[in-house]
Structure 1
């Protein structure tokens, strides 16, 4: 009988776990009492850890030791992802990419057990503004929502077309958190990652529409080109506020009426800032009025939070998949975390759902019923 092959320690997994936690080589080395060079050698695959170091690394980073021996399906790299936001420190971008990598491995885990919607994001060529307007209009027609009514859920649009939407914690430092609005990666299964720190549901809808624009118009194109970001913004504007409906409802104004702006926001679920900009782009207000409106907008503090925000659009695909595995397969989120080699707190950070065991059934000793609940039902 041939001896069982010894599992291989995967340095890439250690690097991803360290980046996910925002740690430098030196910080992790100090935490587990080894040299900076030792961590570097482990990540490069030059050295292997002993059992004690293995366990210490797992504890320090929030994973089980098994995680270091489970190959990651694919790693997210900067050149594959479209980032929306201000220029950010390399350390923050690295951490966000590591989060995406881990979430991507969770999605592959789901795909092996649940039938997710097929990837059906249409491809449209981007060029001048008119081309982008038509691209957004074609997407709306494919969805059957036409050009004269709002898209009720941008998140549902993405998920129905096969993308998986999730959220990440921007940063413990608020100034860093706001540097990343969202990012997307096409890949075999498109992933859109949103910032939980935005604090504005209308702007979150804009971010999702922006990333949809990238997935529709820019598959395979290298990121980082400011032109692509401008095109994705133009797509978001045209998708959220289609010109046919917008021109019908917003009439030329010498003096901007904010009552009109907030009324349109309630109907179209787009930010007041995007509505004012759309009006200016169509010549419905002139340049002087646009500048005056923007100055008033800043004076009122609406850039920090607008009135009349729409309801939040929480991702639905992952929660539905988790419920299917729980109810049909008897698999808890804690079971999933263990299979992936993640600790419970790490699973919640990556997926946004607590890792807990299945709730006990009456046959499992959970037969005690609250009298208060019985009385409420009787009442």
Structure 2
């Protein structure tokens, strides 16, 4: 028996309209609407057609009812640049990641959420308050993903087929979630993680975290968190050149552009000096990339989960079986958070085939 909410979730996950799914599954749009409204049940043959068209196991479409994540609950970066279809695709991907998160929670004791609510606070002051509360050392932060996970924030990848979507975050059942686009440079991913933490601290539970003003506030929070004012002021970077900024950026593990912006924000670069530095950095390739940058960060939570599963299978294979999803689907939410080659070493090893030896 089909679960209407799961059909709608799967359709959104694949970025399909009813008309598009109708063509793929050879089912009328009228029938699809009836299936999603729960006023009609598909035949076994139509159910299989839907599963094939959606690249989902039939059992997924027959699971328990699921609640959608409300659009207003999610803080999307650059929402105005995302089509409604891409937004729903990312939102439904986030809902499936919630299933994976619950599956992991049932098997591992994870930290309870500890993200303060500082709605209305000045972003610079909020970052300082958070650093004091979490007892962070002066200077840069070693690993943003580990920092978030250690404070009860669940971190996942933005699904690879949602690459147009930047990072986003939301709170679900009192648990904060952050989704990172790991196709970007490690420096940009770290800044995105701090930016989304800014939304959770400054905007969660208040007005919808969207619009230019909230984005600017989250950016200011991220800059102050990753590059504390006292540390920057003591660095000797007043009127720094582009080459000096490039040589200093790894001290805080940020992009050269982000460090230049922070120096300007703290009046260590004049308006003219900031423009000149940005032109030089762009000419050297630092606007679109980060030559000679830092290594990507990894999720300790997912890595630990991989190490504590049964030796004959992987976390992903177990979770896919239990959640009625494909291994390929679940990999999209964690692959970018693991070291290169992790999936190759943790996949089920097929049994070796016996060899035939001819005796004389």
TM-score (ref. length: structure 2): 0.87
- 1:258, distance to aligned residue in structure 2 (A): 1.9
Any idea what SS the aligned residue of 2:157 has? strand
Q: Does 1:228 align with 2:214?
A: yes
- 1:367, distance to aligned residue in structure 2 (A): 12
Matches within 5 A, 1:197-208: 197-198=183-184, 200-208=185-193
Which consecutive segments of 4 or more residues in structure 1 shift more than 4 A?
329-332, 353-360, 365-368
Structure 1 match to 2:37 = 44
Any idea what SS the aligned residue of 1:186 has? strand
Residue among 147, 158, 163 paired with 1:168: 158
RMSD between superposed Cα atoms in Å = 2.5
Query: What's the CA shift string for 1:1-54, capped at 9, x where partnerless?
Result: xxxxxxx52111111111111122111111111111211211121211111111
Deviates more, 1:78-87 or 1:205-214: 78-87
Aligned residues: 344
Q: Does 1:264 align with 2:264?
A: no
CA gap 1:367/1:11 in 2 versus in 1, 3 angstroms: closer
CA gap 1:97/1:59 in 2 versus in 1, 3 angstroms: same
Any idea what SS the aligned residue of 1:190 has? strand
Alignment partners' CA distance in 1, 2:353 and 2:52:
36
Alignment partners' CA distance in 1, 2:334 and 2:109:
18
Query: What's the CA shift string for 1:88-123, capped at 9, x where partnerless?
Result: 111111110010011111111222232222111222
Alignment check: 8 A CA contact 1:237 1:274 kept: yes
Q: Does 1:337 align with 2:312?
A: no
- 1:73, distance to aligned residue in structure 2 (A): 4.9
Segments of structure 1 that go 5 or more residues without pairing to the other structure are: 1-7, 369-379
Q: Does 1:317 align with 2:264?
A: no
Query: What's the CA shift string for 1:219-261, capped at 9, x where partnerless?
Result: 21222232221111110000010001000003422xx412321
Matches within 5 A, 1:269-288: 269-288=253-272
Residue among 212, 219, 226 paired with 2:197: 212
- 1:205, distance to aligned residue in structure 2 (A): 0.6
Any idea what SS the aligned residue of 2:261 has? helix
Alignment partners' CA distance in 2, 1:349 and 1:84:
20
Alignment check: 8 A CA contact 2:160 2:332 kept: no
Q: Does 1:69 align with 2:62?
A: yes
Alignment partners' CA distance in 1, 2:30 and 2:110:
43
Alignment check: 8 A CA contact 2:156 2:178 kept: yes
Any idea what SS the aligned residue of 1:117 has? coil
Alignment partners' CA distance in 2, 1:135 and 1:269:
21
- 1:209, distance to aligned residue in structure 2 (A): 0.3
Any idea what SS the aligned residue of 1:274 has? helix
Alignment check: 8 A CA contact 1:125 1:135 kept: no
CA gap 1:193/1:146 in 2 versus in 1, 3 angstroms: same
Residue among 74, 85, 101 paired with 1:91: 85
CA gap 1:97/1:354 in 2 versus in 1, 3 angstroms: farther
Structure 1 match to 2:48 = 55
CA gap 1:337/1:49 in 2 versus in 1, 3 angstroms: same
Any idea what SS the aligned residue of 1:165 has? strand
Matches within 5 A, 1:64-213: 64-85=57-78, 87-127=81-121, 131-147=122-138, 149-171=139-161, 177-178=163-164, 180-188=165-173, 189-198=175-184, 200-213=185-198
